[in-house]
Amino acid sequence: MKSVKEAEKIILDSVQPIQEIETVNLENSCNRVLATTVSSKLDFPYWDNSAMDGYAIKYADLANYSDLEIIEEIPAGYQPQKTILSGQAARIFTGGMIPEGADTIVIQENTQKEGNKLKILSSPQPQQYVRKRGSFYQAGNPMLEAGITITPADLAVLATAQCDRLSVYRRPKVAIFSTGDELITPDATLQPGQIIDSNQSALAAIVAQNGGIPLPMGIVPDNKELLRKTIAKAIREADLVLSTGGVSVGEYDYVEEILAELGGKIQIRSVAVKPGKPLTVAKFSNNCLYFGIPGNPVSALVSCWRFVQPALKKLSGVAKGWQPEFISAIAAGEMKGNSKRESYLWGKINLVDGIYHFEVAGGSKSSGNLINLAQTNALAMIPLGVNNIAVGDRIMVMFVN
């Protein structure tokens, strides 16, 4: 049995990030992972421009003239036609291009205008309110590094830099299926003894949220031949495979056996984690990584959040930050840990007066309670060997979703 840390390391070491690159337009690039560092051909600002509404002047004129002659008006988007000579000024608006000869902006509040004569009531600093060309970014410098996930803010940066075609990594294909004779789809009529497959939709959503393309493959009964066929197809077609169920030690639990028969190198058989102990991980020669996840819906989600999500992030080409981030929170209720396994308790995290409080939904005893997973947004991690957490204790919590 591997510790959680060992399992995490084995999994991350087994993941070979996707190298294949595709080109997307700017408007389709949000949430994609940048494959090459982007630089722009443009300086930013593109040219010297005014940060305020006011007048473009020569700073040196302030000592020599009591008033200036206004020779041109420069709104944003207009190319100045005249050069400012000694004793002259141009009306200018925010974003307007600084005319030749001017070096300083005096804001309109500090001026008085009579006809085309301008009086300056309060002197600006030299070069005040001039945004110099290239002062924020110089053409050719790295703007966004390879391996970042493109955000809405990045879209603004890329648009302004005229980077409208982007090289991104191909999204990972993730095959997902559920195993078990007892399972039916959510739209089927429930017969006595049956269980509705709740894992598939949840796992597909986690995959999509993490930039993967879910390939749902349905429900596979506990039949060795059918299971072998499905697993073989999934390994051929996907970068990552997530199956749930069939990894315990019951008589119908065939997954590990089939993985080995198909040439998979079994890397993990079980993890000292609660819930989710019987996690099976195998690596195939085509680089496909297979996660045999326990079928219990709570275990399946915890395994997916704790172990699959980091693998998916690394696989997608994200350069760093694969592991979950834990924050410190205050326990809002009592919790029980486990003497042999690291425990993950699901619940809700709330910010109260600037401090995170974690409220547990399902105690460690109720991993069969699927309903109280609703609106789970965090998992509390109780280290192995810590048996009791009291109200007010500090605990480590990871956000999910």
| Residue 297 interacting with ligand AMP (CB under 6 A) | yes
The reply on whether position 197 binds ligand AMP by CB under 6 A is: yes
- Interface residue with ligand AMP, options 29, 199, 243, 303 (CB under 6 A): 199
Nearest CA among 317, 312, 315, 273 for reference residue 296: 273
Report the nearest approach of ligand AMP to the CB of residue 248 (Å): 4
| Of 180 and 214, CB closest to Mg ion | 180
Judged by CB under 6 A, the stretch of 16-24, 57-65, 91-99, 177-185 that binds ligand AMP is 177-185
Distance from C-alpha of 327 to C-alpha of 399, rounded to nearest angstrom: 8
Checking DSSP bridges between strand 49-50 and strand 104-107, what pairing results, if any?
A: unpaired
Give 16's Cβ-side CA count (13 Å radius): 10
Q: Quick one: which segment of 139-147, 168-176, 200-208, 242-250 binds Mg ion (CB under 5 A)?
A: 242-250
Stretch of 138-146, 240-248, 259-267, 351-359 contacting ligand AMP, by CB under 6 A: 240-248
Site for Mg ion in 265-324 (CB under 5 A): 295
Which residue has its beta carbon closest to ligand AMP? 295
**Closest-CA residue to 286 (of 365, 368, 173):** 173
Strands 388-389 and 326-331: unpaired
280 near ligand AMP, rule: CB under 6 A: no
Give 80 or 180: the residue with its C-beta nearer to Mg ion. 180
Long-range contacts of the stretch 23-27 (C-beta < 8 A, 24+): 23/165, 23/166, 23/167, 23/168, 24/165, 24/166, 24/168, 25/164, 25/165, 25/166, 26/155, 26/158, 26/159, 26/163, 26/164, 26/165, 26/166
Please give the size of the binding site for ligand AMP, defined by CB under 6 A.
Answer: 17
Q: Is 337 in the site for Mg ion (CB under 5 A)?
A: no
Interface of this chain with ligand AMP, residues 109 to 128, rule: CB under 6 A: none
The one segment of 55-63, 102-110, 192-200, 229-237 that binds ligand AMP by CB under 6 A: 192-200
Alpha carbon 74 to its chain's center: 42
Measured on CA atoms in the order 68, 74, 76, 77, is the torsion positive or negative?
negative
Using alpha carbons only, give the angle 271, 273, 278 rounded to the nearest 5 degrees: 45
**Residues 170 to 189 in contact with Mg ion, rule: CB under 5 A:** 180
Binding site for Mg ion (CB under 5 A): 180, 245, 295
Residues binding ligand AMP (CB under 6 A): 178, 180, 182-183, 195, 197-199, 244-246, 248, 250, 294-297
